[in-house]
Amino acid sequence: MAGSRKLVIVESPAKARTIGGYLGPEFDVEASVGHIRDLPQPSELPADMKKGPFGKFAIDVEGDFEPYYVVDSDKKKKVAELKRALKDADELYLATDEDREGEAIAWHLLDELKPKVPVKRMVFHEITKEAIQRALQNTRDLDERLVDAQEARRILDRLVGYEVSPLLWRKVRPRISAGRVQSVATRMVVERERERMAFRSASYWDVKGTFTGGDADDADGRRSFDARLVTLDGAKVATGRDFGDDGQLTAAARKAQAVHLDEATATALATALQDAQARVVSMETKPYTRRPAAPFTTSTLQQEASRKLRMGARETMRTAQGLYENGFITYMRTDSSALSQQAIAAARAQATELYGADYVPAKPRFYAQKSKGAQEAHEAIRPAGDSFRTPAQVAGQLTGAQFRLYELIWKRTVASQMADARGSTATVRLSADAALADGTRTAELTASGTVITFRGFLAAYEEGRDAERYAESGGQDKETRLPRLGEGDLVDTESVVADGHETTPPPRYTEASLVKALEERGIGRPSTYASTISVITDRGYVERRGQALVPTWLAFSVTRLLEENLPRLVDYDFTASMESDLDEIAAGQENRVEWLSRFYRGEGDVEGLRGLVEGLGDIDARAVNSIDIGDGITLRVGRYGPYLETADGEGRASVPDDVAPDELTVDKARELLEASVEDGRELGVDPESGHMIVAKTGRYGPYVTELLPEEETPAKGKKKPAKARTASLFSSMQLETVSLEDALRLLSLPRVVGTDPESGEEITAQNGRYGAYLKKGTDSRTLPEGEDQIFEITLEEALELYKQPKRGRGATAKPPLRELGEDPVSGKPVVVKDGRFGPYVTDGTTNATLRKDDAVETVTPERAYELLAEKRAKAPAKKTTTRKTPAKKPAAKKPAAKKPAAKTTKKTT
């Protein structure tokens, strides 16, 4: 029809720009910028709803679990814009992502916009011209089963979080939270740390030798190779994997009568074998074949990006989102490792072109869908298009993390359609008689070597690996060539040495290994793992040490409370079963309302969440927040951090933040207690006040303070109690060596430098959280020479410092570091600026600090808009809300299954 206008709505501005370039002039492409509606905080409900069934959760828990939705405060302008755009449209295309979240966004748009024109659901898994054109020709109706599954998940998470979090506030600490997946993930990290705490190392020795053998005239020639002692008089020699976490040989090792070598025996064996003649007992050669890894799913991409690119899960997903929205890769939230026919053809063609026909098998490789309930995209993550662009071809369009991630995805996809790596693995066993003081003993040593004769897919890509528990050094598939040997051949002994080892505790989780463990247990969805890890770190349950995830003592308290009082909520199998139930709702095999009712209200003898929480009774908060360290020492998780306490209550010491739970042994605890006894280390008496000055260790490091006599302590009812002077030690000072003179100088701070003759304001030198500085009224200046300058700077030097342009807060505005375009929400220009706490993006109204993995040079406009949107979302919502009353979903062809329940929709008030 002439003059016909079509409105297409997607989630992000970047996606809108890319799609807009592939559509004709009759299409208007707009972005919703994510969800437009959500459940409000109960405190934001209208007054007449706060006492009804919606009052506790913004969900009708007494009825059919109807949610009460409101338009987010920062999305009202966007919704108004979309409504205006819809007035000029003859058709509406909802082109949000084809997963549960995307389907729910489409439903909310439909419900809020109430279009009076034909509506079509447009879906695609890659943003290329061909894919968009195909999607236009193959639209469908809204899939309400997917909406039901997403809504059930949202309601479920609200019920769990709002029922359990208040319990944590009362018994552990205010402003912390519980969650269906986050609490289970936290428990997994805590359990691994418990294993490390219970671990007892074992010492063991082995013997290794270097030998030379083979025929100089043979094709392989004479070669040196390394062999390790494996049996002694026919009995297996114990290695690290033969010991349990208690430091003792395992039951299987004891049953096999494994020989546990000590230093003396190993050294004597090495000396005896140095002079013994070694001969070949056997030489076996077997074919070696290695298949390529499957194309990336969301989970495997996060794992591999962590291993190879050192990218966290959140950074990986954010980078992949940008690649997808700009048309470089297919949709990045997927449980499937399958490739489309077009993708298989493209990968095979590119492998043939780059590596030759010999590197491509005769038949295509097909990879089974990894998860039976895979409900995200139905294809693996791969380069976009019916033919792939090589990394060299996109190098000019992508920089930094985006290029590295695209290259990783391209390599994995192409390699998945390439031939197996082939070769052979040879294993040689040597025998020698060792003459020891107590008699002759027969030692057998072994060596293995792998020779790759055809690299196959390895020419393009090799999958990374996580460190295995008690792993031996050297890669399993490391290429090593052995000489050609035969049974009975003699070999020359070059050297034999004894080597001592200590078993190591199980490794802590990294983001990659935690994602892998969650997926293997069926807990959560790969698309949510990045946000789950972000939540448990932001809540203070987990800290990062390099790539390792270390639980805090707060996580121990929260996990213990849940394990002892609500064990089902942190049970791995139960949590995984809920994920399966959500899959059944998405497939139309489970009724949303009935399922939520069973979970929350219970059924038969099985009590629901509400009954479990209400029936808890009194929980001993002190017990929950106490961990026995040993020898009468207990760790308490207090409001201001963890501290140690002796059984008699006389000894107490704060636990520094840099001491991990598995490092807090009894010896370490005693060391902390001795360094910070109740009265501290006495330094002497202040000659002016007569008060004893002591040095102590606190949660934030060493400090000095004065002990007030009992008569100077506040009397009952006194409004302003006497306060002891306290000062942190300078970074150059040590608790053990700080003197009374040092302490008195510290306690004298702030030091008055003088008075500004012009303003009459007093200038002081102080030591603060961010170092040494001057203060004049509200104007502060950092001391360039640091702490040493506090006691030495003169008034003249201070005045000269104040004449210089201010470099910190309050300085003259600097020009922006970068300009990023116009924000789609506020319509204002967005720039990157340098602030006191680092670079940030701003539209002049809202400021958002760049995260540690956002670089000023490479941050994209889309990322800046996302950060600003997140910051706006955290702002206090206005009290005015949009009233929802129960009504059926907007017109869309329903599936055969009966709709479980109607949803609340908008009503103007």
Tell me if residue 331 is catalytic: yes
864-886 as b/e: b if 16+ CB within 10 A: bbbbbbebbeeeebeeebbebee
Element of type H or E holding 221: none
Per-residue tokens: 57: 């959760």
Q: Cα dihedral sign for 803, 808, 810, 812?
A: positive
Q: Which amino acid is at 15?
A: K
Identified catalytic residue from 162, 331, 355, 703:
331
Give the Cα separation of 43 and 906 in Å (integer).
Answer: 19
What is the SS3 assignment for 867?
helix
Maximal C-alpha separation, the chain: 103
Instruction: Provide φ and ψ at 197, rounded to 5°.
Output: -70, -35
Give the Cα separation of 418 and 412 in Å (integer).
Answer: 10
Give the Cα separation of 12 and 18 in Å (integer).
Answer: 10
**What long-range pairs does 39-42 form, CB within 8 A, spacing at least 24?**
39/67, 39/68, 39/69, 39/70, 39/154, 39/158, 40/68, 40/70, 40/877, 40/881, 41/877, 42/162
Q: Cα dihedral sign for 428, 432, 436, 438?
A: positive
Per-residue tokens: 54: 């919606």
The answer to whether the CB of 889 falls within 8 A of the CB of 899 is: yes
Element of type H or E holding 588: none
Per-residue tokens: 671: 């060391």
703-735 as b/e: b if 16+ CB within 10 A: bbbbebeeeeeeeeeeeeeeeebebbbbeebeb
Task: Find, among 766, 141, 188, 132, the residue nearest to 513 by Cα.
Answer: 188
Task: Find, among 793, 786, 792, 753, the residue nearest to 772 by Cα.
Answer: 786
Other Cβ atoms less than 10 A from the Cβ of 890: the count is 17
User: If you count DSSP H runs as helices and E runs as strands, how many of each does the chain have, helices first?
Assistant: 24, 35
- As to burial, measured by CB atoms within 10 angstroms (0-12 exposed, 13-18 middle, 19+ buried), residue 38 is middle
Residues near 3 by beta carbon (within 8 Å), at least 6 away in sequence: none
Strand ranges inside 584-625, DSSP E: 602-603, 606-607
**CA atoms within 13 A of residue 113's CA, in its CB half-sphere:** 32
Task: Find, among 884, 819, 845, 842, the residue nearest to 77 by Cα.
Answer: 845
Give the Cα separation of 351 and 459 in Å (integer).
Answer: 10
Could you please report the per-residue DSSP string of 281-327?
Answer: EEEEEEEEEEPPPPPB-HHHHHHHHHHHH---HHHHHHHHHHHHHTT
471-504 as b/e: b if 16+ CB within 10 A: eeeeeebeebebbbbeeebebebeebebeeeebe
Give the Cα separation of 49 and 257 in Å (integer).
Answer: 72
Give the Cα separation of 634 and 621 in Å (integer).
Answer: 14
Task: Find, among 478, 345, 353, 369, the residue nearest to 423 by Cα.
Answer: 478
Per-residue tokens: 679: 């009265």
Beta bridge partner(s), residue 29: 8
Residues known to be catalytic:
331
